[in-house]
Amino acid sequence: MKIVLYLIIVAIIFILPLTTLGSEGGSSDPFSQTKFVPAISFVMDVSYLRRNLELTGFEMPGFIHAGHSNGHAHSGSLLNGENGFNLNYAELNLFATVDPYFDLFTAFHLGEDHFEVEEAYVTTRKLPHGFGLKMGKFLSAFGRINAQHAHTWNFQELPLVYRVFFGEDGLNEKGFQLNWVAPTDFYLSLGFELFQGENSTSFGLEGTEIVNEDNGSEIEVEGARGPGLFTVYAKTSVDIGDLIILGGVSYAGGETRSIHETEDREHVLSGRSRISGLDITIKYLLDSYRYISLQTEYIDRQFEGEFYEAGSLEGSEFSRSQSGFYSELVYRFSKLWRTALRYDLLNRNNVLINGADSELPEDMKRYSFMIDYTPTEFSRIRLQYNNNRYLYLDGDLKTFSELNLQLNISIGAHGAHPF
């Protein structure tokens, strides 16, 4: 009912006025309502999944605890979360030029039981000397894939390293971004972002009190004051004939207040996290349609602070050094068909509590293969297979497979997808 209500409101605000235009409301009329109607697009993603394991009670030691999912993935709906049919998401996008100074973009996510703002931001149009400013709620420019929407990814889900460091939705925050494009013969962009810092996977601001039920004592973990997160990045590209090379470095640092509540315990991390990223994309154009591309990102996370757990009388020194990467090899062998391979690996998982190594497992990995058919820019059919080796149950690694058939449909006006 809530979703229907929101759609009716959108229709009243943006679509209904078109039906009231008279013959005098043509394009020559400076007050024509059509001049104020934004570009509207709608994206729907559905899938059919077969998985040979029920994902309950599992964990990724050091990353995701049993019974606790990191990141809300659009209010709790994990992409391709159920065996059988899935409505992964619907996305309503609105874009308009506000005035000579600003553009406005919004992206709303609609699920079976929720409606939320994924992005809502303005960008400047006329700042001098190559500067641009973005303000609102938006996907960070950290790395290569984070700023892309799900329907533009080469595979159906985020790489593992993004999932464990930023959550299912990636690094999506409220704040501002200042970007500068250098006046050089090649592309060079430098940027700075300041965010509230509410990402609960690696950052967070919320404090809490942990109660020792045995004696009633309390440990107060103070919250942090926002804005508590910043990022800096540099991106560049060069063209060598039909060979295109893109590269970037990124850094994110901020306060961490990470609260984990499971059925049997509650614990909190308090400190600061630093996340560094390096990405490179190499694309070779075979002709006007066909190409081969290799995309790789390596991301490292460092944390230093304190660990508080229910039942303890004081905090413990806690540090972690974790990293991972993914590599995607994509071959577009005709105008309508592509195929790709991806390798995900979490290669380092060092966690120290009071100087003692927790001896957590490393080398958590996933192998993926996909082939997709894109008859037009508005539709895509994709078949993907995953071999997963990253979940643990009672200390034992569990290997499982997934076969997924995905349909992605979009209608309306929308901008070009990122290169």
The whole-number pLDDT of residue 279 equals 98
For 17-50, write each residue's pLDDT tens digit.
444 444 444 455 655 656 668 899 999 999 999 9
CA 383/CA 84 separation, integer angstroms: 14
Report the alpha-carbon distance of residue 419 to residue 404 in Å, rounded: 25
Residue 278 shares a structural domain with residue 221: yes
| Tokens coding 361 | 């497992």
Q: Which residue has the higher pLDDT, 418 or 209?
A: 209
Mark whether 83 and 207 lie in a shared domain.
Answer: yes
**Residue 10 belongs to domain spanning:** 1-37
Distance of alpha carbon 36 from alpha carbon 304, whole angstroms: 50
Query: Is there a single domain that holds both residue 23 and residue 126?
Result: no
**316 and 330: one domain?**
yes
Q: pLDDT tens-digit profile of 259-310? A: 776 655 677 888 999 999 999 999 999 999 999 999 999 999 999 999 887 7
- What does the pLDDT read at residue 217? 65
Same domain, 23 and 160: no
Residues 24 and 107 in one domain: no
- The answer on 267 and 182 residing in a single domain is yes
Tally of structural domains, the chain: 2
Is position 417 within any domain?
Answer: no
Q: Does one domain contain both 151 and 288?
A: yes
**Residue 320 per-residue DSSP state:** E
Does 94 reside within a domain? yes
User: Exposure of 370 by Cβ count < 10 A (0-12 exposed, 13-18 middle, 19+ buried)?
Assistant: buried
Tell me the average pLDDT across 40-62. 91
Q: Assess whether 12 and 118 both reside in one domain.
A: no
| φ/ψ of residue 15, rounded to 5 | -110, -45
pLDDT band for position 223 (50/70/90)? confident
pLDDT average, residue stretch 306-335: 89
Which residue from 181, 175, 204 is spatially nearest to 130, judged by alpha carbons? 181
What is the spatial distance between Cα 327 and Cα 294, in angstroms, rounded to a whole number?
7
7 and 96 both lie in a single domain: no
Whether residue 418 lies inside any domain: the answer is: no
Find the CATH number of the domain harbouring 71: 2.40.160.10
pLDDT of residue 18: 47
In terms of domains, do 68 and 14 share one?
A: no
31 and 46 co-located in one domain: no
Full DSSP string of 181-245: E-SSSSEEEEEEEEE----TTT-----EEEE-TTT--EEEE---PSP-EEEEEEEEEEEETTEEE
pTM of the model: 0.87
Token pair 């070779």 is found at 284
Is 419 part of a structural domain of the chain?
no
**pLDDT tens across 372-384, in order?**
999 999 999 999 9
Residue 362 has pLDDT above 70, yes or no: yes
What is the distance in angstroms between the CA of the first residue and the CA of the last residue of the chain? 38
Query: Is 238 within the bounds of a domain?
Result: yes
User: What percent of the chain has pLDDT above 90?
Assistant: 67
